Amino acid sequence: MVCLLEPNNCGEANLDVQFIMGVAQGAPTWFWVIDPNSQDPFLDWVIALAATKNPPLVHSISYGGIVTEEPLANVFRYNTEMCKFGLRGMTVFVASGDDGVANYGARADSSQCGFNPSFPATSPYVTAVGATQGPESGAPEVACSSATGGVITTGGGFSVNFPRPAYQDVVVSNYLKNGPNVPPTNLYNSTNRGYPDVALLGLNYEVYIDRFATAVSGTSASTPTFAGMITLINGLRLKAGKPPVGFLNPALYKIAATTKGVFRDVTSGENNCTAGGPCCQYGFTAAPGWDPLTGLGSVDFEALKNALLKY
């Protein structure tokens, strides 16, 4: 009903659905609707999904909240369910956020600058997806930032709740030791889970809303696109008699360490700015290898497909 009365209220949902279905054409696609009066839509969704027989194998979430504003018990319940989903063969992708390290509270209030991680992107059992820009206009690929004309700034940083998982210990430690302009580690939990894990282009996606084309940008664009890619790869794995990829992160980090050409290393950019708002004093700077802007880098679909079909 909300969409019928005001189509612009459905921009985020249109973006997700149109690009998941555009990339993974022909794949059965579900759209989950949560009561707008829900006290915790993330938790309501995982409870509903946990009770669903034969659920979809791939899930894309373009929404997020500031983790310190989430009830702690709900955060841990959500994370536990994510772990169970992985064991059931499901893969969950979550946008890393569009306001750098500060999160959306700083868009209109620079006093909110700081390190405010997003949730559920910081769950170690989801694959967090950042955004890049450049190739869409024939320029080199860099981390997406409002300071470089990217409309949004790719989110990233470190969890406040979950310790760093073993699958990313080497690459995150390397960034903290060798990365350029690493902010003082007393300002964030550097021993915790770092995010995002990967990135895709996130600038100037064209979607149709109420019959009219409009350009949108964000990690909420890169995330469903990657979800569509993994849907295609799952289809090929199932056809070959293999199980779905399920919890994807251990495979991504292993592939990054052993197979060249799967990830395009993005080594330029900062995420100290918000989406169209103020730029804060602190943020992270892109570096060779994993960094808390674009993760392992942007994804080459053909190379990732070949790697995961062998995995």
Catalytic residues: 12, 16, 220
DSSP class of residue 34 equals -
* Element housing 67 (H / E): none
Closest to 221 measured CA to CA, from 44, 77, 18, 66:
18
What torsion do the CA atoms of 236, 240, 243, 248 make, to the nearest 10 degrees? -40
- Please, which residues bridge with residue 127 across strands? 93
CA angle 45-244-67, nearest 5°?
35
Q: Count of CB atoms within 10 A of residue 211's CB?
A: 6
Categorise residue 201: left if φ over 0, alpha if ψ from -120 to 50, beta otherwise: beta
Q: Phi/psi of residue 142, each to 5°? A: -135, 170
The CATH number of whichever domain residue 203 belongs to comes to: 3.40.50.200
C-alpha to C-alpha distance for 102 and 70, rounded to whole angstroms: 16
Q: Is the pLDDT of residue 154 over 50?
A: yes
Give the HSE-up count for residue 171: Cα atoms under 13 Å, Cβ half-sphere.
Answer: 30
Q: Is the pLDDT of residue 130 over 50?
A: yes
Closest to 300 measured CA to CA, from 216, 198, 183:
198
Higher pLDDT, 63 or 126: 126
pLDDT at position 210 is: 79
Residue type, 166: A
pLDDT at position 88 is: 96
Q: What is the mean pLDDT of the chain?
A: 94
* Element housing 264 (H / E): strand 263-264
Q: Is the pLDDT of residue 6 over 60?
A: no
Query: What is the per-residue pLDDT across 105-117, written as a single tens digit (0 to 9) for each?
Result: 999 999 999 999 9
Q: Is the pLDDT of residue 4 over 90?
A: no
pLDDT at position 2 is: 44
How many percent of the chain have pLDDT more than 90? Answer: 88
Task: Give residue 141's domain range.
Answer: 2-310
pLDDT at position 166 is: 98
Q: Report residue 5's pLDDT band, with 50, 70 and 90 as the boundaries.
A: low
Query: What is the per-residue pLDDT across 62-80, written as a single tens digit (0 to 9) for each?
Result: 999 999 999 999 999 999 9
Please state the domain count of the chain: 1
Query: What is the per-residue pLDDT across 12-61, written as a single tens digit (0 to 9) for each?
Result: 888 999 999 999 999 999 998 888 788 899 999 999 999 999 999 999 99
Task: Give Cα 217 to chain centroid, integer Å.
Answer: 13
Q: Is the pLDDT of residue 267 over 80?
A: yes
CB 218 within 8 A of CB 99: no
Global pTM value: 0.95
Stretch among 1-15, 272-286, 289-303 having the lowest mean pLDDT: 1-15
Query: What is the per-residue pLDDT across 181-211, written as a single tens digit (0 to 9) for each?
Result: 999 999 999 999 999 999 999 999 999 887 8
Q: Is the pLDDT of residue 305 over 90?
A: yes
What torsion do the CA atoms of 275, 276, 279, 283 make, to the nearest 10 degrees? 20
CB neighbour list of residue 192: distance below 8 Å, 6 or more residues apart = 158, 159, 160, 161, 162, 163, 164
How many percent of the chain have pLDDT more than 70? Answer: 97
